[in-house]
Structure 1
């Protein structure tokens, strides 16, 4: 369900579960973190591009799998995806081919660039289904969209590609056939011989120490919604609604 291929010296990581809108199982999240780490030191690739297949970049957490699992364990798997990206020494670019939901949308917030197609969407449904945000997004979302972050989360906002670009969630919109090539081209431009990209990634990315603080706060938020039953009720509503 995860495909990794080095294309033009760039590692292209592709989610291949289109029948489930590339919803992320626990094992897929582990595979993604491992793929990012395997290509993150610059020895095998000049950078990393992550994209999806079909109508979605990713529908986020596989809720059907998550029902009955420890929410804290699920959240930690998402946190480690963000941690893996911020630990890399190479540019990491999201090629958002379609719908990006919840934890998958939040994961892209730590990327060095986000390029979308006209059909790309950002959807942050957690608040209305009793879940709490993760991936360090309590810090990273505000870093990108400023004061709009609170309303986007509380409204469980769903943004079109144009709205996402206006908000600062997407940097560029290109036609679907050019998406991955554009992302690869950006990595090439940033990693030409003689560039100081590695040091500027360290200087300009959010501090991993600050993100770890956000992780800790988000873990406590997840603990609260789990212990109060808020998360279970919300996920049950979601699963039952889709089943009817």
Structure 2
């Protein structure tokens, strides 16, 4: 039986899609990624709703790839990348605005999937974190193209530096479009969608003009897939994931000192 970690409800003619796995910081397994892309396509025609809002439950937008089900073979890596890429395709194919309501930390692939949304509205707790470069994982979702398109030369330090970017900095450099109070976050995202899509016939045409070209997105996917293959073949991917779990299982120095004092 597959768990469903995606909640869907309609608010004022807007589909609100909520990642709902708070115990795992809304980490995205393959099944959830497939379901998310399917749901975006279902609403994306504009026949049922005027727009889509994507958000998360609890203190995280999403922790990205579920590293407890991390790919163990190159074929599994290809599948993982394909499911991340397809969310980007699904969003960019819609005929209605898609807004990310970033309620908390957005990590890795989840951070990247917000980049193709038409707007990113955050709460003061919104935070971006791209740890892939220090974990042996390759960025996906066409973020190799979309990140630079949004933030220019900040993209290099965000990806290579792998440091956390709080809401204020994200607003300053263009990762977020605005910051609102947590209790009004989804309502504000819904309001933006409705304001933007006053005439669906014209809005759909403008979305096609303003969004990145499909050929640029597909070229980015191809480059990222090739880089993922090289990461796997070099051993960097396996070593990075092993290092991540080792760091999780090894107490930090301060924590270990506190335990020693209690003995």
Task: Name the TM-score, length of structure 1 as normaliser.
Answer: 0.98
Is residue 107 from structure 1 mapped to residue 113 from structure 2 by the alignment? yes
CA distance in 1, matches of 2:148, 2:35: 28
Superposition deviation, residue 67 in structure 1: 4.3
Segments of structure 1 that go 5 or more residues without pairing to the other structure are: none
CA distance in 2, matches of 1:182, 1:42: 20
The equivalent residue for 1:45 is 49
Q: How does 1:81-120 map to 2 (within 5 A)?
A: 81-120=87-126
CA distance in 2, matches of 1:112, 1:149: 18
The equivalent residue for 1:146 is 152
CA distance in 2, matches of 1:98, 1:194: 31
Q: How does 1:1-244 map to 2 (within 5 A)?
A: 1-69=5-73, 70-193=76-199, 196-244=202-250
Superposition deviation, residue 116 in structure 1: 0.2
Runs of 4+ in 1 over 3 A off after TM superposition: none
CA distance in 2, matches of 1:73, 1:230: 19
Superposition deviation, residue 240 in structure 1: 2.2
How many pairs does the alignment contain?
244
Superposition deviation, residue 209 in structure 1: 1.2
Contact 1:10 1:48 in 2 (8 A): yes
The structure whose Rg is larger is 2
Deviations 1:170-221 (A, max 9, x none): 0000000000000000011011147721111000000111100000000000
CA distance in 1, matches of 2:104, 2:226: 31
Superposition deviation, residue 164 in structure 1: 0.7
CA distance in 2, matches of 1:240, 1:72: 25
Segments of structure 2 that go 5 or more residues without pairing to the other structure are: 251-263
Contact 2:96 2:200 in 1 (8 A): no
Task: Name the TM-score, length of structure 2 as normaliser.
Answer: 0.91
CA distance in 2, matches of 1:90, 1:202: 10
Does the residue aligned with 1:39 lie in a helix, a strand or coil? Answer: helix
Contact 2:27 2:65 in 1 (8 A): yes
Superposition deviation, residue 243 in structure 1: 2.6
